[in-house]
Amino acid sequence: MFKVLVSDPISDLGIQQLVDASDVTVEKKTGLTEDELIAIIGDYDALLVRSQTRVTERIMAAGTKLKVVGRAGVGVDNIDLEAATKQGIIVINAPDGNTITTCEHTFAMMMALARHIPQAYAKTIGGTWDRKSFLGVELRNKTLGVLGMGRIGSEVAKRAKAFGMNILAYDPFLTQERAEKMEVKLATVDTIIRNADFMTVHTPLTPETHHMISGPQFEVMKKGMRIVNCARGGVIDEMALVEAVDQGIVAGAAFDVFESEPPEQDHPFLSHPKIIVTPHLGASTIEAQENVAIDVSEEVLHILRNEPFKNAVNMPPVAPTVMNKLQPYFSLGERLGSFAAQVTNQAISEIHVDYAGDLSDVDTLPLTRYIVKGVLVHHLGSEVNIVNCMHLAKQRDINVVVTQASKSKGFTNLLTVTLKTQDHEERLVAGTLLNGYGDRIVQLDKFPVDIAPEGHIILISHNDKPGIIGYVGTLLGQNDVNIASMQVGRKIIGGSAIMILTVDKAVHKDVLAQLIALPELNNAEEIVLT
Ligand SMILES: NC(=O)C1=CN([C@@H]2O[C@H](COP(=O)(O)OP(=O)(O)OC[C@H]3O[C@@H](n4cnc5c(N)ncnc54)[C@H](O)[C@@H]3O)[C@@H](O)[C@H]2O)C=CC1
Ligand SMILES: O=C(O)C(=O)COP(=O)(O)O
């Protein structure tokens, strides 16, 4: 039974599928301190959060069973991604579910700013009928600068057009072609600062975006600009902004997010007549909260059940078409990796993966991760998963080399895993996915073979002499080991040969030792593929 902890307020309706799952129990404990979370996190397989819970390195370290941290929302700046990757914890988010909601909040803020709605409301309910102090401005014909044209920024631009605004947009990934399609003008940050009447930011907080609007930008800013931040506190320098408002450079600002949340009671925004604020409400609608909770619950279930998933933040994204193509090979890849590791007795210096046939022209990185996981798991155990395997390989100076499009030897698809050791030994295992037959191992070192990569396998190397098969069969029979299948491979008559037996149960070490003691038999080892 998987245990899921929900440590922030997340929509009940959204997480219903987790609650209903027969293999999951869900517990809600919100408002915990870091130490309180550390004390209990060891019991849980998954943690669901929004932006309040700071998922620190200490929490991850205490989460010994933790497989996944699910963020019901976009920003993951409250989660230590590096620590998660090192520990093999998958971090997923729900990037699409709150886009429109946050875009609408941005608009609400922009209009509230243009028409002084919060200030006018406060005065009216305070008993003052003041119609002179709140002269506003129209949005029509104004220039809106959008910094960050991702999901939310693009939706804001779309709506701003309907309000008759001219849009100047900047995003490092915004091409001229896409800008034209969206009917916005591609501009630099500098052009936007010097020309916009309104400016809204929709970037994540990164070292590059931190204080991207600060003193130097306010110095050259178009006088009377109104600024909205519904993205992340820290993209705009808060103290420099207050100064710019006081100097009359900025006519007003609307902030949903703060450099530190919640802000201190004496934060200058909270008492400034020209700055309006909301307590990080961008994503807070019934619809968005249901959407993100549904998305994240679905992904968490996939991860817990070892099924493919898509929105991992600490792994590169994979297009659904690529994923569909690769997914059938995941189990084969992992087993080939595991097989190769089990027959390699020296320290591995390189994992070489060659993809041929159908796999020669797709981005195979996700599949490579399964192979590397298979190789490492033999020595490192369950600590290894597809999130941390590359990191763990690098830490151990193991090179992962991938080649594509070498000859497929007649197979429609062929995965060849070669492990190279520091002593220049090489072990090679190749496998294919045969339509209608499933996974097969088709080559072992230089020998062509045909075995299903599953269960208990005995690999024997011997000299090609008459009678050996009989000795082996008799010895295994005497030890109550039932042989399910047997294959013999050799390159030349009387030369070195291999025998591969699949057997019904684990083989005791003594039996392997007795096998090795047989005449003309050089080695016998058991490979277990679960
Ligand atoms: N206030 C709230 O409750 C909410 C806030 N957010 C925040 O809004 C922000 C945007 O979210 P989405 O649009 O969903 O993300 P997104 O990833 O779709 O878009 C972000 C865009 O920022 C761009 N960008 C990165 N560096 C930039 C730079 N230096 N200058 C200009 N653009 C840059 C990226 O290329 C990307 O296109 C995120 O920080 C997210 O955490 C999201 C939802 C709710
Ligand atoms: O999704 C985001 O990035 C947000 O900022 C929303 O945060 P929240 O889930 O409302 O705490």
Which sequence spans correspond to the domains of the chain?
A: 2-96+289-304, 137-277, 318-453, 455-530
Flag whether pLDDT at 378 surpasses 80.
no
One CATH from 3.30.470.20, 1.10.10.10, 3.40.50.720, 3.40.50.300 for 137-277: 3.40.50.720
CATH code of the region 455-530 = 3.30.70.260
Q: Which ligand 1 atom sits nearest the alpha carbon of residue 96?
A: 14
Active site residue 280: yes
Q: Count Cβ neighbours within 10 Å for each residue of 370-398 and write b for 16 or more, e otherwise.
A: bbbbbbbbbeeeeebbbbbbbbbbeeeeb
Architecture of the domain defined by 318-453? 2-Layer Sandwich (3.30)
- Give dist(CA 108, CA 117) in Å, integer: 10
CATH code of the region 2-96+289-304 = 3.40.50.720
pLDDT at 276: 98
Q: Which of 147-161, 301-315, 468-482 has the highest mean predicted lDDT (pLDDT)? A: 147-161
pLDDT at 370: 94
Flag whether pLDDT at 76 surpasses 70.
yes
Instruction: Return the minimum-mean-pLDDT range out of 191-195, 467-471, 491-495, 512-516.
Output: 491-495
In residues, how long is the chain? 530
Active site residue 232: yes
pLDDT at 386: 85
- Give dist(CA 245, CA 254) in Å, integer: 12
CA of 103 to the centre of ligand 2 (A): 13
pLDDT at 162: 98
- What is the value of pTM for the model shown? 0.77
One fold for 2-96+289-304 and 137-277: yes
For the chain, the average pLDDT equals 93
Pick from 52, 156, 173, 203 the residue to mutate for probing ligand 1's pocket: most ligand atoms within 8 Å of its CB: 203
Task: Please answer whether residues 487 and 450 qualify as being in contact, where contact means their C-beta atoms are separated by less than 8 angstroms.
Answer: yes
- Condensed to tens digits (0 to 9), the pLDDT of residues 16-49 reads 999 999 999 999 999 999 999 999 999 999 999 9
SS3 at position 324? helix
CA of 317 to the centre of ligand 2 (A): 21
Flag whether pLDDT at 382 surpasses 70.
no
Q: Interhelix angle for 286-304 vs 99-115, to 10°?
A: 150
Confidence of residue 406 (pLDDT cuts 50, 70, 90): low
Give me the phi and psi of 52, to 5 degrees please.
-75, -50
Instruction: Return the minimum-mean-pLDDT range out of 51-65, 141-155, 400-414.
Output: 400-414
Q: Which residues contact 185 (CB under 8 A, 6 or more apart)?
A: 166, 167, 168, 169, 179
Active site residue 525: no
Average pLDDT, stretch 105-118?
A: 98
Flag whether pLDDT at 295 surpasses 70.
yes
ipTM, interface predicted TM-score of the complex: 0.99
Choose, from 138, 261, 307, 520, the residue flagged as catalytic.
261
Q: Tell me which residues have their CB closer than 6 angstroms to ligand 1.
A: 73-75, 95, 98-99, 102, 147-153, 170-173, 202-204, 208-209, 212, 230-232, 256-257, 280, 282-283
